Copies of this chain bind each other. A is one copy, B any other.
Amino acid sequence: MATERTKDWLVDVRRDLHRRPEPGWCEFYTTARIVEKLEQMPVAVTLGPDLLDADARQGVPDSATLSEWLNRARETDADPDLLDQMEGGLTGALATLDRGDGPTIALRVDIDGLPRTESADDGHHPTAEGFRSVHDGHMHACGHDAHTAIGLGVLQTVAESDFEGTLKVVFQPAEEVIGGGRPVAEGGHLNDVDALFAVHIGLTYPTGTVVGGFSDFLAVAHLDMEFTGEGSHAGAHPNGGRNAVQAMATAVENMYGIARHTDGRTRVNAGRVGGGTASNIIPEEAFIEGEVRGGTTELREYMRRRVTQVCESAASMHDCSVSIEEGAEAPSAESDEELVDQIARAADANERVDSIVRRDEFRGSEDATFLMKRVQERGGLATYLGIGTDHPGGHHSATFDVDERSLPIGVEVISDAIRSTARDLSE
């Protein structure tokens, strides 16, 4: 049972991280802070460079962006040596608690923020309480600050228990760009894992509810399209150019119009677009940073094929060329019944939990699926569980916040499930 001391500690950790949200592969301050906490625990720490298969990273920003965020971190009290080691975006960490013989259990939490401006409204709790994001345009709008705090709390709680075996907690970077799951999976540190838990807070569940396992993750793929035409003076020679913005707009309109599929859910988004240089020049360049998803990998590939076709045709329609770079992607995955059981039993035994949902459909995508599949392919088990939390604004919105009462619930339920899973697997 988590004490009030634990709760206060979790809240402090979470708020500290909340004030400094960092985008994927730029979690320099966040990782340093995690490592500082880990150094106070009986665990071995593996930092990003040794945790990740660096070449398998997806969605790494350009070096100017990486430098900018590293410099921001250097302006804090974070350990400069740690920061230096992460140069180039080798963020994230793994903590290993070795308690002798017994199964290897893993917990995965993600640590990155989102490119979104946090509400400055007084009614927004982080603003009122003074821990609103100090990084304009960036925000922990999906609760990864809470995930990180829970990961640290679970380590501490399990370390203080009679747990036998090995516990690995992965503090994974770059989930929002589905960038960190693959390099962690490829890094090899999960190859010996017998049971993997991954956790998300909130979603559609209030404080007091626990979800044993999610299924039906949407497979996802990012697609970056660059349209190239030719500039011209818009007044004097409107026909002299080849209009890349017109090509892009045609592509956007028709991407959203790709036919729904009889076999299940499909998604498409032109999430960030731009083009042109000045109002009086026919735009020479334009881009779409987009994504496609599907209820299955096949459905995602249907969307990818069609988006590609739409963009190529839109380019040729306006005499432009287009280059399409395939970005980060993640597969679908399922939660194993045995671990769903473990979570459900732990939740059932917890007095702060008032509602248990065994399984639900996950409506989005997650690169935790890379970790789940890696463990499952090697004979281990995996579940992606949910810890409900009241949140006034929706996920990814400017007013998102978590109910901090859910932090100790998460720590307790997951710690208990880890311990009982270790016991059951030892038998």
Q: Give 1 or 0 for each of A252-290: 1 = CB within 8 Å of chain B CB.
A: 111011111111011101111111111111110010011
Residues of chain B contacted by A313 (CB below 8 angstroms):
313-314, 316-317
Chain B residues with CB below 8 A from A276, complex form: 270-273, 289
Knowing A238-B267, A363-B235, A364-B236 touch, does A272 contact B262 (C-beta < 8 A)? no
Per the bound structure, the CA–CA distance linking A176 and B280 in Å amounts to: 8
Give the size of the chain A interface in residues (CB under 8 angstroms).
Answer: 77
A131: CB under 8 A from chain B? no
| Bound CA span A41–B319, Å | 52
Residues of B within 8 A of A312 (CB): 316
Contacts known (A116-B231, A276-B272, A309-B317); A245 close to B252, Cβ less than 8 A: yes
The answer, among B237, B257, B365, for a CB contact under 8 Å with A363, is B237
A236/B256 in contact, CB under 8 A: no
A168 located at the interface, meaning its Cβ lies under 8 Å from any Cβ of chain B in the complex: no
What residue of chain B has the Cβ atom nearest to residue A317's Cβ?
B313
Contact check, B281 vs A277: say whether CB atoms are below 8 A apart: no
Which residues of A363-418 have CB atoms within 8 Å of chain B's CB atoms? 363-365, 394-397
A243 at the interface (CB under 8 A from B): yes
Contacts of A258 in B (CB 8 A): 256
Q: Which of A232-255 contact B (CB under 8 A)?
A: 232-241, 243, 245-246, 248-250, 252-254
Whether A115 is near chain B, meaning CB under 8 Å from some CB there, is: yes
A262 and B274 within 8 A (CB)? no
> Does chain B have a CB within 8 A of A205?
no
Contact A257 B267 (CB under 8 A): no
Distance of A102 from chain B, by nearest CB (Å): 37
Q: Could you tell me the distance between the alpha carbons of A245 and B288 in the complex, rounded to whole angstroms?
A: 10
Which residue on B lies nearest to A255, using beta carbons? B257
Q: Contact check, A261 vs B239: say whether CB atoms are below 8 A apart.
A: yes
Assuming A252-B246, A317-B317, is B239 touching A302 (CB within 8 A)?
yes
A124: shortest Cβ distance to chain B, in Å?
16
Determine if A240 and B394 form an interchain contact, defined as CB atoms under 8 angstroms apart: yes
Chain A residues within 8 Å of B, Cβ to Cβ: 114-116, 176-177, 218, 220, 222, 231-241, 243, 245-246, 248-250, 252-254, 256-263, 265-267, 269-283, 286, 289-291, 293, 302, 309-310, 312-314, 316-319, 327, 363-365, 394-397
Q: A115-B277, A177-B278, A249-B249 are in contact. List 13 more A-B contacts (CB 8 A).
A: A220-B280, A222-B279, A234-B269, A245-B252, A246-B270, A248-B273, A271-B277, A271-B279, A272-B277, A272-B278, A274-B274, A280-B291, A310-B317
8 sample A-B contacts, Cβ–Cβ < 8 Å, listed by A number: A115-B278, A116-B278, A236-B395, A241-B259, A246-B257, A279-B291, A313-B314, A314-B317
